[in-house]
Amino acid sequence: MTHVTLRSEFESLIDPYAPVAQVATGFDFTEGPIWHPIEQYLLFSDMPADVRRRWDATRGVVEMRRPSNKCNGMTYDADLNLIVCEHATSSLVRERPDGRREIVASHVENQELNSPNDVCVHSSGAIYFSDPWYGRMPVYGVERPRQLGFQGVYRVPPGGGAPRLLVDRYLFDQPNGLCFSPDERLLYVNDTVQALIRVFDLGSDGGLSNGRVFASGIRSELEPGVPDGMKCDQRGNVWVTAPGGVWVYAPTGELLGKVRVPELVANLAWGGADFRTLYLTATHSVYAIATKVGPRHEPYMGARSRGAATAGSATSSASSASAPAAP
């Protein structure tokens, strides 16, 4: 499968002929990939199946949690606590390595959040998350009425506290993927329904200002795919799920190229020993592709303690899904 080069800079990020390897398959709808930097495995969710799984090149796929409260986006904080967006509980949760579970955010203005969807952690320890209402729809969540009349983007301060709404409550239809620029001066947030990415300046108080459209028209009548998961690489380029796979934008907003994937991609995360393997959760499968560039440095990537362990424990072997080694 040949990827699409629109600007020459794209080929400094990825080989246009780089193979896309299927590392596991047989799932309902995969999401939320995150790589454990010490134990060297990929954690991912399967929302309709209500299961969280892990994959590594030695053991293949292992089931970690069932039920998983239809979890979606996941990341780690600097202490390798797992931060989880749960659709079924409308909560953002912290799972500590010893198994303790803490609610990070569940309500705003004394009403339940819609369903936290994706999440990223600032170097200060503040947590930013999007809150569309997909988790109140059947299949991907638990069908139930909404309490809020809007879909927002929030910040939880370092050390915890009430979530703070960061954007005009009617700016987004369905805010979804979000990520920081390498210097953390910018926060990117995409909107699945509006098919665009907005970018905001990040203030010293953690607030957002000067919102503007970074990229628009992320849609196609010919190929499935929408803005969903999104990550920033170490050079400031923005990688977002889109029709046909993943579209890559320069910091200027110029579209550089497209990574082609056989299935609709919902999310992505870099992993591997050198963080040069891009893992893609794509409907029924998880794929991996080698890249020439790595991610922006996330706080959890500096974790070094060998005593750190994964949140939760394996419960059973997960599937007959094939799991060859990632490139």
> Residues 180-205: what's their mean pLDDT?
98
Give the 3-state secondary structure of 86-103.
ECCCCEEEEECCCCCEEE
- Mean pLDDT, the chain, whole residue set: 93
Contacts of 312 (CB under 8 A, 6+ apart): 52, 64, 65, 82, 95, 99
Residue 303 contacts residue 316 (beta carbons within 8 Å): no
- Band of the pLDDT at 1, cuts 50, 70, 90? low
* Calpha distance 91→103 (Å, rounded): 7
pLDDT value at position 273? 94
> Residues 163-179: what's their mean pLDDT?
98
> What domains appear along the chain, each with residue ranges and CATH number?
4-317 (2.120.10.30)
pLDDT at 309 over 50: no
pLDDT value at position 303? 78
pLDDT at 312 over 80: no
pLDDT value at position 122? 98
Q: What is the pLDDT of residues 50-105, one digit of tens each?
A: 999 999 999 999 999 999 999 999 999 999 999 999 999 999 999 999 989 999 99
pLDDT at 320 over 60: no
pLDDT value at position 322? 32
CA angle 29/43/81 to nearest 5° reads 130
**Does this model's pTM top 0.85?**
yes
Q: What is the pLDDT of residues 13-41, one digit of tens each?
A: 999 999 999 999 999 999 999 999 999 99
pLDDT value at position 60? 97
Q: Quick one: how far is CA 51 from the chain centroid?
A: 17
Q: What is the pLDDT of residues 240-287, one digit of tens each?
A: 999 999 999 999 999 999 999 999 999 999 999 999 999 999 999 999
pLDDT value at position 205? 96
- Band of the pLDDT at 185, cuts 50, 70, 90? very high
What is the layout of strands, in order, in the sheet containing 60-65?
Answer: 30-36, 41-46, 51-56, 60-65, 316-317
pLDDT value at position 173? 98
pLDDT value at position 308? 40
Max alpha carbon distance in the chain (Å)? 52
pLDDT value at position 316? 34
pLDDT at 138 over 70: yes
pLDDT value at position 302? 86
pLDDT value at position 315? 36
pLDDT at 167 over 50: yes
Residue 246 contacts residue 256 (beta carbons within 8 Å): no
CA angle 191/168/114 to nearest 5° reads 60
Residue type, 152: G
Higher-confidence position of 98 and 239: 239
